[in-house]
Structure 1
Amino acid sequence: MRFFLGLCALAATIGLAAPAHADIDNDQDFLKDLRDAGITYQDAGNAITIGKSVCELLDDGQSDAKIVTDLRNQNPAFQGASAAKFTYLSAAHYCPKYITGEDRGPKPEGAVGN
């Protein structure tokens, strides 16, 4: 019986470890894609947090245009299409359902854009 419980505990530990590793890989891929797109950042952890927050905003029904505008207003370094690229890469890595248009949350009343 102890062997069985130990085996179950080991399986649970391995099962829980895999998603954390996958998150780290996804975060690293996100940061690489930001660099490849010419988007620089001072703090990798902050870039990841902001990237994930884009998905929360999309989940809440914010329009892409509003998110891009807010990013530009809060980060003067985002010039040209950088904020749009950041928004796209964030969604591509952390909530790809929004790239395909599936499961899009409702937009707030009066929201414009996609």
Structure 2
Amino acid sequence: MAEIERKYKCNCKEVSITHNGSSYLVICGKHINGAYCAFPKLNVAVELSGYDGDYGYNEKKLHLAFTGKEDCLSNDTETLCALAHLITDIIRELPDVLPF
């Protein structure tokens, strides 16, 4: 039987990001071991770095998450780079996660 081991306060944001005429709903936040983002409409969720300004790592993670997807983002390096930078900045502004 599954049991809750620990509980943590949730620090997340839901944002709509536009780039090159397209709009993306993104849920992003911090968790106890780092950060994440999800694109619910695109069925993509990504583990990200929670460190300030870790743009390069987060860009790579987004590229990997969209590789092989039928969505137009899989080959759109410019948009994925812009999204990674915006999401990283949003995550940076969130408070750290602490236990209840």
- After TM superposition, the score normalised by the length of structure 1 is 0.32
Question: Which structure: greater strand fraction?
Answer: 2
Instruction: Determine which structure has more spread, i.e. the larger CA radius of gyration.
Output: 1
Bigger helix fraction = 1
